[in-house]
């Protein structure tokens, strides 16, 4: 007599009704956790997106602040270089995003001889760093020119002594001897534009550091466990024995 054992496995589907009855906060946390996992998976594939997001935010901040930055060249007639710096930074803030996207192309080039894929366009990457350096230089020039305009124009820059005190080194002798303020002459953009130039400089520097350290933190991101744990399913096994 030969015995053949046929095993019939019945899989019980997950209890969706029980999952739907879970408290809202549990479903919300589960959804947030899954969203976070997907974002980390996306960063594993393209870790350079961290720098891209930082660059995009920097560009938006600078463009939104153009109203204040552009008033300096029109207020001080002998500060023509300020307008040039604003123009250069505005232009490069937009172009640098296009350069960055070309530095990390969506479809890597394939070397016909070796068959190796080139994931980074190093020429474009070098230009990104060059553009960052030019923008930082423009921010420094803009701020230094503004500081040079303080002497003799203190009423435009400051509305009270507390605001003027940090810039005492740039006061004119007449203002130092008799600090006077004019509420009608005061222009809020003057100090504000200097603050914007420093903020922009710091943000560009942060982007440069993020780009330079990309090979290091990308390895750390790859070590993050993003494996998805599936719910265990219940298996009911029924064994039937047939005799021939």
The pLDDT assigned to 59 comes to: 95
Asked if residue 21 belongs to a domain, the reply is: no
3-state secondary structure of 109: strand
Asked if residue 106 belongs to a domain, the reply is: yes
Asked if residue 234 belongs to a domain, the reply is: no
The pLDDT of residue 9 is above 70: no
- 217 pLDDT band, cuts 50/70/90, is confident
Report residue 160: phi and psi, to 5°.
-155, 170
Asked if residue 112 belongs to a domain, the reply is: yes
Asked if residue 124 belongs to a domain, the reply is: yes
What domain range is 116 assigned to? 47-225
DSSP category for residue 14 = P
CB 67 within 8 A of CB 233: no
Give tens-digit pLDDT for 173-185: 988 998 888 888 8
The pLDDT of residue 118 is above 60: yes
- Nearest-CA neighbor of 185 among 159, 221, 149? 159
Asked if residue 157 belongs to a domain, the reply is: yes
The pLDDT assigned to 240 comes to: 46
Structurally, how many domains does the chain consist of?
A: 1
Question: Can you tell me the distance from the alpha carbon of 79 to that of 51, in angstroms, rounded to the nearest whole number?
Answer: 33
Asked if residue 29 belongs to a domain, the reply is: no
Asked if residue 60 belongs to a domain, the reply is: yes
Mean pLDDT of the chain: 80
Q: What's the pTM?
A: 0.76
């Amino acid at each position: 007599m030969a015995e053949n054992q046929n095993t019939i496995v019945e899989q019980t589907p997950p209890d969706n009704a029980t999952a739907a009855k879970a408290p809202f906060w549990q479903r919300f946390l589960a959804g947030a956790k899954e969203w976070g996992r997907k974002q980390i998976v996306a960063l594993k594939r393209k870790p350079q997106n961290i720098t891209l997001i930082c660059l995009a935010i920097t560009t938006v901040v600078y463009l939104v602040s153009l109203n204040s930055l552009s008033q300096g060249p029109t207020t001080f007639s002998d500060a023509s270089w300020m307008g040039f710096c604003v123009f250069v930074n505005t232009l490069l803030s937009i172009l640098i995003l296009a350069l960055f996207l070309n530095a990390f192309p969506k479809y890597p080039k394939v070397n016909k001889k070796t068959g190796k894929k080139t994931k980074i366009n190093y020429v474009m990457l070098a230009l990104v760093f060059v553009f960052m350096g030019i923008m930082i230089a423009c921010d420094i020039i803009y701020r230094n020119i503004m500081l040079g305009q303080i002497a003799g124009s203190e009423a435009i820059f400051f509305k009270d002594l507390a605001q003027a005190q940090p810039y005492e080194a740039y006061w004119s002798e007449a203002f130092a001897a008799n600090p006077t303020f004019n509420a009608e002459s005061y222009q809020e953009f003057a100090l504000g534009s200097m603050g914007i130039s420093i903020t922009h400089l710091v943000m560009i520097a942060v982007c440069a550091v993020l780009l330079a350290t990309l090979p290091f933190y990308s390895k750390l991101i790859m070590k993050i466990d993003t494996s998805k744990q599936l719910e265990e399913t219940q298996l009911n096994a029924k064994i039937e024995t047939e005799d021939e």
